[in-house]
Amino acid sequence: MKISQKGLYALQAMMMLARRHHQGAIKIREIAYEEDLPEKFLELILLELKNARMVESVRGAKGGYQLRRDPAEIHLSEIMRLIDGPLAPFADAEQLRVLINRDLPHRALYQVFLDVRDAAAKILENTTLADLISGTAPHSTKGKRSAKKNEKEKGSVLPMVVAGQKND
């Protein structure tokens, strides 16, 4: 149940482009520098995003990348599906539906997988780049975010992971 490094880079780059949506084309080098991403790797990612028509490129000197649509119309689900594939923990929604109908002994398990995917899809399809850069996400309207109290005090800068311990 993980997003790849590449997927995270893609999201960071897209957020950055969303913040600068008014500024025209941004150089790969600049994105890489500001978000601290490996430049050559980022290049491949941007190319993929371009082929998926989410960004467009300007070639030659003064070139670079920019969003092709308004940040409010680019959903996180699109980016994540492009880079990391289906949101389901196993196979994809359609295959899961087939398995639920055919694999009787395991149908309940596949149904749970489908429920998990639906829950993730609901969130990611309702969150856009605009939501991310404005600081409020639309699916969090239940006061959950704002009602948060009792935050832990963190002294150290490095998150430490104790060996063998599961943290969630």
Residues of this chain that bind DNA (CB under 7 A)? 4-7, 9, 25, 27-29, 38-41, 43-44, 46-47, 50, 57-65, 84
Find the shortest distance in angstroms from Cβ 27 to a copy of itself: 19
Q: Are 98 and 50 in contact (CB under 8 A)?
A: no
**How far apart are the C-alpha atoms of 85 and 7, rounded to whole Å?**
10
Tokens standing for residue 13: 């780059």
Tokens standing for residue 80: 């994540």
**Angle subtended at Cα 31 by Cα 12 and Cα 14, rounded to the nearest 5 degrees:** 35
Q: Are 121 and 142 in contact (CB under 8 A)?
A: no
The partner in contact with residue 43, picked from DNA, a copy of itself, none with C-beta cut-offs of 5 to 8 angstroms by kind, is DNA
The partner in contact with residue 101, picked from DNA, a copy of itself, none with C-beta cut-offs of 5 to 8 angstroms by kind, is a copy of itself
DSSP annotation of 75: B
Site size for a copy of itself, by CB under 8 A?
61
DSSP annotation of 21: G
Find the shortest distance in angstroms from Cβ 59 to a copy of itself: 25
Q: Are 10 and 74 in contact (CB under 8 A)?
A: no
Comparing CB distances to a copy of itself, the nearer of 58 and 86 is 86
Site for a copy of itself, rule CB under 8 A: 1-3, 8, 11-12, 15, 76, 80-81, 84-90, 92-95, 97-98, 101-102, 105-109, 111-113, 115-117, 119-124, 127, 131-133, 135-137, 139-140, 145, 151-152, 154, 159, 161, 165-168
